[in-house]
Structure 1
Amino acid sequence: MTERTRKEGRERGEEWWSTEIIEMRPGMIRLRGYPIEDLIGRVSFPAMIWLMLRGELPTEAQASLLGTALGAAVDHGPQAPLIAIARMAATCGVGINSAMASAINVLGDVHGGAGEQALGFFGDIAAAMDAGQSLEDAVADRVDRFFARSGYVPGLGHRFHPVDPRAPRLLELVREAARQGTVSGRFADIAEAVEAAVERRKGKRIPLNIDGATAVIYGELGFPPPLTRGLFVLSRSVGILAHAWEQSQYPDRNKGPLPREWLWAYEGTPERRLPEASEP
């Protein structure tokens, strides 16, 4: 029997959910060691996110760049499945928290996971460069590998925008942060080299999208890929909340995905009747 399993009573209970994030007793709250009253009014929300996830406070420039990425991805309209779900849920009379949860629960690999995939892809290229490969060779090898496997590269292209209007501005701010020494600019270099490699392969430019651009920022700031998805959830929750609240102010009830006069295409078995139903 280990020392841990021998412990009983209060000591065992206190260790059950051990954490390095928060210390709390009656009249005292400390986040990563900082008294909450010291943080309130002095530390921005992006800096609080950084502190909670990373254990240390960022510089103001780092917090600003993180906030920029979070702010850029807050919404993309009701045609996005999660926003449509939030609005439909609101018409069903559920609370705003339930509408938000319904929307967040559809964020997975296909819808919401591209940023994580992009940062994993960029990070793999960075690791190859650390192992001695040139930027061009590392990018070419991995672009070829991705095309062979899936036919696309994460973080590029958009089904609505020929050029995602958010991406160039985010890359511009990354370059500015690199000039100021806040970040290295390495992930921006990788993303632009990936764009160029894909253009050579396909014969047309497929620009960086919001997922790729925010992945650049999160990579520059040192966040691991899995946290990228969580950060996207935090960001898009702002839009989810806004849409759920707006929809809750309208009188619509049980509003489905299509107007009532538009019905779905039925492709099943033609009409058939039970024998007893056709008898006089």
Structure 2
Amino acid sequence: MTNDRSDADAMRHWWRTSIIDMEPGKIAFRGHPIQDLIGNVSFPQMIWLMVRGDKPSADEAALFEAALVAGVDHGPQAPSIAAARMAATCGVGLNNAMATAVNMLGDVHGGAGEQCAELYYGISDKLRAGQGLSEAVTSGLDDWRAEHGKIVSGFGHRFHKPVDPRAPRLMQLVREAAAKGTVSGRFADIGEEVQAELGRQRGGRPIAMNIDGATAVIFCELGFPAPLSRGLFCLSRSVGVLAHAWEQMNQGGRNKGPMPPSYLPLYEAKEDDR
């Protein structure tokens, strides 16, 4: 015969969390009763509290929110947005359309912010080891390419050349925050030097710091671990995904694929088929 208390303890300790304390009539996030948070913290502040366990200052929250706002959408040419709209024409619900899009945010589409943050943190480690900024960036890029190949995440854009209009504004806000002492400015220096070095390596042709490179600066300045850059981007892009899925549902249409029916994919016959 089992002990009822030990069974109850085993069930209670199956999951362990410091995020939420909940029982009948009580909900507290990170030690803060939900009724004290409602109406007193913004959604970005709530994200920060849930993920990190503390509350950001007003200036930290404003910079964090700017990064979230900047990444909400990039139109149906973005695979995740297109996938959400296609899913919506298949008769699924909003949650299914949103999940379809978020599940496409992988290493190639949606993961560049995490990868760029890893690059920045690696360069920061070299600075702490005594290297100068230029040397740290050059060796950091060499290390990056040795592991990941020639494409440097966070820089360059297939549409926005030579400037991604989101990045300069975000970097301006970082510099303003650094001037106030909200952040150090270290990662802004790193990001801008990476951009300059990539331009020099291209024979002086400028290259855009894209949304991933700029938001990675902010997330690193605020102390978020690199993997959270991807999760935070998923939260941000989910806003655009929701908007596009809802718009498509209201526009109607059934089974819309990636191109109009009058355009067919190229059939490439193999030798055995001829």
Fold match, TM over 0.5?
yes
Matched to 2:170, the amino acid is L
Aligned residue number for residue 158 of structure 1:
157
What is the 5 A alignment of 1:89-128? 89-128=87-126
Matched to 1:75, the amino acid is D
Deviations 1:49-106 (A, max 9, x none): 0000111111011111111000000000001000000000000000110010011111
Secondary structure class of the residue paired with 1:30: strand
Deviation at 1:125, TM superposition (A): 0.4
Does residue 135 (structure 1) correspond to residue 133 (structure 2)? The answer is yes
- Indicate how the Cα distance of structure 1 residues 268 and 171 shifts in structure 2: closer, same or farther if over 3 A, else same: same
Aligned residue number for residue 52 of structure 1:
50
- Indicate how the Cα distance of structure 1 residues 271 and 254 shifts in structure 2: closer, same or farther if over 3 A, else same: farther
Aligned residue number for residue 190 of structure 2:
190
Q: Provide structure 1 residue ranges, at least 5 long, that are not aligned to the other structure.
A: 1-6, 274-280
Aligned residue number for residue 28 of structure 2:
30
Secondary structure class of the residue paired with 2:28: strand
Deviation at 1:251, TM superposition (A): 2.4
Deviation at 1:143, TM superposition (A): 1.8
Deviation at 1:164, TM superposition (A): 0.5
Work out the CA distance in 1 between the residues paired with 2:151 and 2:201.
11
When Rg is computed on C-alpha atoms for both structures, the one with the higher figure is: 1
Deviation at 1:271, TM superposition (A): 11
Task: Answer whether contact 1:143 1:197 (CA < 8 A) is retained.
Answer: no
Matched to 2:63, the amino acid is L
* Identity fraction in percent: 60
- Decide which moves more: 137-146 or 248-257: 137-146
Matched to 1:35, the amino acid is P
Aligned residue number for residue 262 of structure 1:
263
Matched to 1:207, the amino acid is A
Task: Answer whether contact 1:96 1:244 (CA < 8 A) is retained.
Answer: yes
Does residue 221 (structure 1) correspond to residue 222 (structure 2)? The answer is yes
Aligned residue number for residue 71 of structure 2:
73
Task: Answer whether contact 1:73 1:210 (CA < 8 A) is retained.
Answer: yes
Q: TM-score, normalised by structure 1?
A: 0.92
- Indicate how the Cα distance of structure 1 residues 144 and 13 shifts in structure 2: closer, same or farther if over 3 A, else same: same
Deviations 1:157-179 (A, max 9, x none): 10000110000000000000001
Aligned residue number for residue 239 of structure 2:
238
Deviations 1:225-246 (A, max 9, x none): 0000000000000000000000
Matched to 1:192, the amino acid is E
Work out the CA distance in 1 between the residues paired with 2:151 and 2:102.
25
Work out the CA distance in 1 between the residues paired with 2:160 and 2:208.
10
Task: Answer whether contact 2:160 2:208 (CA < 8 A) is retained.
Answer: no
How many pairs align? 267
Q: TM-score, normalised by structure 2?
A: 0.94
RMSD between superposed Cα atoms in Å: 1.5
Work out the CA distance in 2 between the residues paired with 1:251 and 1:38.
42
Matched to 2:97, the amino acid is A
Task: Answer whether contact 2:119 2:144 (CA < 8 A) is retained.
Answer: no
Deviation at 1:223, TM superposition (A): 0.1
Deviations 1:120-148 (A, max 9, x none): 00000001111111111111112233345
Work out the CA distance in 1 between the residues paired with 2:192 and 2:273.
59
Deviation at 1:182, TM superposition (A): 0.7
Work out the CA distance in 1 between the residues paired with 2:135 and 2:151.
18
Task: Answer whether contact 1:146 1:152 (CA < 8 A) is retained.
Answer: no
Match for 2:143 among 132, 145, 149? 145
Matched to 1:237, the amino acid is S
